[in-house]
Amino acid sequence: MTTEPAFVAAIDQGTTSSRCIVFDRRGGIVSVAQREHRQIFPRPGWVEHDAEEIWANVVQVVEEALDLADLPRTRLAAVGITNQRETTLVWDRATGRPVHNAITWQDTRTDELVRELGGAVGQDRFRERCGLPLATYFSGPKLRWLLRTVPGLAERADRGEVLFGTMDSWLIWKLTGGLHITDVTNASRTMLMNLATLDWDDAILAEFGVPRAALPEIRPSSAVYGTATGVLDGVPVAAALGDQHAALFGQTAFSPGDIKSTYGTGSFLLLNTGESIVQSGHGLLTTVGYQIAGQRAVYALEGSIAVTGSLVQWFRDKLGLINSAAEIETLARTVADNGGCYIVPAFSGLFAPYWRSEARGVITGLTGYVDKGHLARAALEATAWQTREVMDAMRADTALDVGALRVDGGMTANNLLMQLLADTLDVPVTRPTVAETTCLGAAYAAGLAVGYWPDLDALRANWHKAAEWAPAIDPATRARGHRKWRKAVERSFDWTDEDDLPQPA
């Protein structure tokens, strides 16, 4: 048996779980291991993760994936990391222990702080420099909250005793035994990086009160950062990308105009805009798509939808209408249409293109006729309509003619949803043979950095269509649905009031 490195591993540190996937040269999956971690809800609107638990899970899934594939780690050419973005951690440089639970991207505790940072200018105060509006979702405000709230932390940060990182940094630090690094895509989600220079922006750092000493070095997404110790001893750690950027890479959306959408807990559309930094006039974010070592960064426009898969989980865990996520399709197929019912899942406000944090979820159009099948269908349609609005915004910002939407993520197993998407968007929807494009992108970027794959064309040649859904409804039906959806969205606006009592999560 040969012992030459013949595979690449990807670690996907996601919102609900961590997984490790081993890929072969064709981009085929050799093995997968996955482990869920706890969601910690200390207060309404607060969502934390235990970073030590996550690291333990990562070690375990890496071991499991290698065991399942019956591989020693010497057969791995490289490992790449992809991660839930914006989730913010500060740890002690000397002991390597987190000083606080990681504050996740969904966490809204920085609501007040974000308003304060906006001052007289408002949420677009830093937008031109970092591409992002002020929102609770990004790392910078979370880091500021930690520095302000955890006693003594600000002083320790000034002295370089504690380190900030998103989950990529945490894993690189743990894997390499102490390298403090992040990649351009993760850094582009902090609000602290300047999009043009790809370096921390001193003016923003000053406003946020964040000392450079606590920040990781920003590196390209595809580059050899160092060599792993421990569970992956000797394997080059050669890529890091935020999950959505990894999916763009895994979908081989390397050309300007290529567009992908990932359907998971939340959903994310990314449009490759090449080397140009496009400022959105329609509520989209400007972000770094990826950067390959020695090359210029590729930028992207992003539209994020907060609640898609999590609405399915809500049906399962809170309403108990289904036993597993997949059963929502079975339930939705018990009816032919939504029965007039629309669900706007603005659980913590609306993201792109609205950015209305005061909105809250509504179920509208209820009549005695509506049953749980209609509700299930409305839940899936909510994902489709939200996608439509983001794509409309992208079209408006770039005059882009969208040929087809490349989809991936856990929800693409849902064939009804895929058909609803094609119907709603009026473009074909294609799913590639590897639905796990997030992991694949991290593997591709890592393999590219060590020469396991020669170039982007070799990766493009690996992309194949696994399934395609064509639009199948008439324009009048689509237009009627769109109108009703917009009315439903309007009903979700202006819900929260100053004197609202905090609601249990």
Ligand X SMILES: Nc1ncnc2c1ncn2[C@@H]1O[C@H](COP(=O)(O)OP(=O)(O)O)[C@@H](O)[C@H]1O
| Bond prior to 353 in cis (omega within 30° of 0) | yes
CA distances in angstroms from 320 to 197, 325, 416, listed in the order given: 49, 11, 21
**Quick one: 141 or 345, whose CB is closer to ligand X?**
345
Task: Give the span between the Cα atoms of 153 and 159, in whole angstroms.
Answer: 10
Size of the site for ligand X (CB under 6 A): 18
Should residue 28 be labelled a site residue for another protein when binding is judged by CB under 8 A? yes
Should residue 359 be labelled a site residue for ligand X when binding is judged by CB under 6 A? no
Q: Answer with the entry of another protein, ligand X, none that 409 interacts with (C-beta below 5 to 8 A by kind).
A: ligand X
Question: 3-state SS of 16-27?
Answer: CEEEEEEECCCC
Q: Answer with the entry of another protein, ligand X, none that 264 interacts with (C-beta below 5 to 8 A by kind).
A: ligand X
Q: Of the listed pieces 157-165, 304-312, 331-339, 453-461, which binds ligand X according to CB under 6 A?
A: 304-312
Cα end-to-end span (Å), the chain = 54
CA atoms in the 13 A half-sphere facing the CB of 477: 11
Should residue 460 be labelled a site residue for another protein when binding is judged by CB under 8 A? no
Should residue 313 be labelled a site residue for ligand X when binding is judged by CB under 6 A? yes
- Sign of the C-alpha dihedral computed for residues 221, 227, 233 and 234 taken in this order: positive
Q: Answer with the entry of ligand X, another protein, none that 468 interacts with (C-beta below 5 to 8 A by kind).
A: another protein
DSSP letter at 285? Answer: E
Find the binder of another protein among 412, 424, 438, 492 (CB under 8 A).
412
Min separation Cβ 464 and another protein, Å: 4
Q: Answer with the entry of ligand X, another protein, none that 363 interacts with (C-beta below 5 to 8 A by kind).
A: none
Min separation Cβ 326 and another protein, Å: 4
Q: Of the listed pieces 2-10, 236-244, 284-292, 406-414, which binds another protein according to CB under 8 A?
A: 406-414
Contact 89, 102 (CB under 8 A): yes
Q: Of the listed pieces 23-31, 76-84, 169-177, 260-268, which binds another protein according to CB under 8 A?
A: 23-31
Contact 257, 400 (CB under 8 A): yes
**309 annotated binding-site participant:** yes
Helices (H), 159-262: 167-176, 184-187, 202-208, 243-250
Bridge partners, 299 (sequence order): 274, 288
**Binding characters for ligand X, 394-413, by CB under 6 A (x = yes):** ---------------xxx-x
Tokens of 98: 């987190």
Binding site for ligand X (CB under 6 A): 14-16, 264-265, 309-310, 312-313, 325-326, 328-329, 409-411, 413-414
